[in-house]
Amino acid sequence: MKKIIPAVIILIIGFAVWYLSGGTGTETDIEKLSVHYIDVGQGDSIYITSGGEGMLIDCGESGDTDSVISYLDNMGVTKINYVVGTHPHSDHMGGMSKIIEHYDIGEVIVPHIHDSDTPTTKYYEKFLTACSVKGLSLTEAELGRKIEVGDAELKIIAPVSEDYSNANNYSVGFIMHHGDNSFIFTGDAEELAENEMIESGSLEDIDVYKAGHHGSDTSSSEDFLNIIKPDYAVISCGEGNSYGHPNDITIENLSKFTDKIYRTDIVGTVVFTSDGKELTVTEEKAQ
């Protein structure tokens, strides 16, 4: 009996502290998150913002980067805390030099690329020059690194290896949590890189999936989808693109998990907003 009474008192005090500190109601204090899948035609550009901080993942082709800049300017963005170039292809990093020149930039994250694979394309050289003019060094994506953007928590899940024959597989990938909601971004990572993510044990059930490689059948493998089980999917691709993206098989496989599939070629820019509990979706054009 003597031992039970102190235990009860500790429990009561513990409950009182928990209750006074807000109990389970902490979600109401969370800074909202918005995720903008910006329509850049055949390419990718995603802007994540919470609590006044922001991350831009890719910027589309050089010509389409102008519309990303006007979109962000309209939002009042002047500083971007993190700029991520998922991999050196022009539909992801074509106008990255313009982004670097136009905004106050915190950190630039790119994948570690084998020396012999360092691109010598003009847009990439312009990007490197823009960074050095601004005194920005490039940070290589480090597997497992955690990054906070306001109240959103991101973790780098790819690339897992250091040497790929296909540049798509270098894509920097993230899982992001915001309260109860989760998102995954895998750039153009193909099945080989998806399998590495599976083997590394970093995948989990996810709410919102940005379909890998513009909905190509080289990505969104069944094994991958069976783990992430998306409730929503976003496909970033251009109307009438010559690659046939998204692939019918990908749409069919995604449809096994969700009928909430948003295509930028049909609905334009798609915005997800999270308050930590509920997710709301806004489309630029009605389906």
| Residue tagged 């300017």 (tokens) | 73
Q: Which stretch binds Zn ion (CB under 5 A): 3-11, 100-108, 188-196, 225-233?
A: 188-196
Element at 266 (helix H, strand E) = helix 264-267
Q: Is 61 in the site for Zn ion (CB under 5 A)?
A: no
Residues 253-282 touching Zn ion, rule: CB under 5 A, are none
**Closer residue to Zn ion, CB minimum distance, 53 or 188:** 188
Element at 107 (helix H, strand E) = strand 104-110
- Smallest gap from Cβ 70 to Zn ion, in A, equals 22
Three-state DSSP class for 255? helix
**Closer residue to Zn ion, CB minimum distance, 91 or 207:** 91
Provide the CB-side half-sphere exposure for 78 (13 A, CA): 1
**Closer residue to Zn ion, CB minimum distance, 171 or 181:** 171
Mention every residue, 6+ apart, whose C-beta is less than 8 A from residue 107.
81, 82, 83, 136, 139
Closest CA to 81 of 142, 139, 168: 139
x/- letters, 204..223, toward Zn ion (CB under 5 A): --------------------
Distance, in Å, from the CA atom of 222 to the CA atom of 159, rounded to the nearest integer, reads 20
- Smallest gap from Cβ 93 to Zn ion, in A, equals 10
Report residue 122 as tokens: 């003009």
- Smallest gap from Cβ 74 to Zn ion, in A, equals 25
Residue 192's region, left for phi above 0, alpha for psi from -120 to 50, else beta, is alpha
Closest CA to 250 of 280, 271, 230, 269: 230
Three-state DSSP class for 247? coil
**Closer residue to Zn ion, CB minimum distance, 30 or 170:** 170
**Closer residue to Zn ion, CB minimum distance, 188 or 194:** 188
Report residue 230 as tokens: 């998306």
x/- letters, 62..101, toward Zn ion (CB under 5 A): -----------------------------x----------
Q: Is 188 in the site for Zn ion (CB under 5 A)?
A: yes
Q: Is 58 in the site for Zn ion (CB under 5 A)?
A: no
- Smallest gap from Cβ 245 to Zn ion, in A, equals 9
- Smallest gap from Cβ 187 to Zn ion, in A, equals 7
- Smallest gap from Cβ 233 to Zn ion, in A, equals 16
Buried b or exposed e, range 22-61, using 16+ CB within 10 angstroms: eeeeeeeebbbbbbbbbbbbbbbbbbbbbeebbbbbbbbb
- Smallest gap from Cβ 110 to Zn ion, in A, equals 15
Q: Which stretch binds Zn ion (CB under 5 A): 61-69, 186-194, 217-225, 258-266?
A: 186-194
Residue 245 DSSP symbol: P
Q: Give the footprint of Zn ion on this chain (CB under 5 A).
A: 91, 188
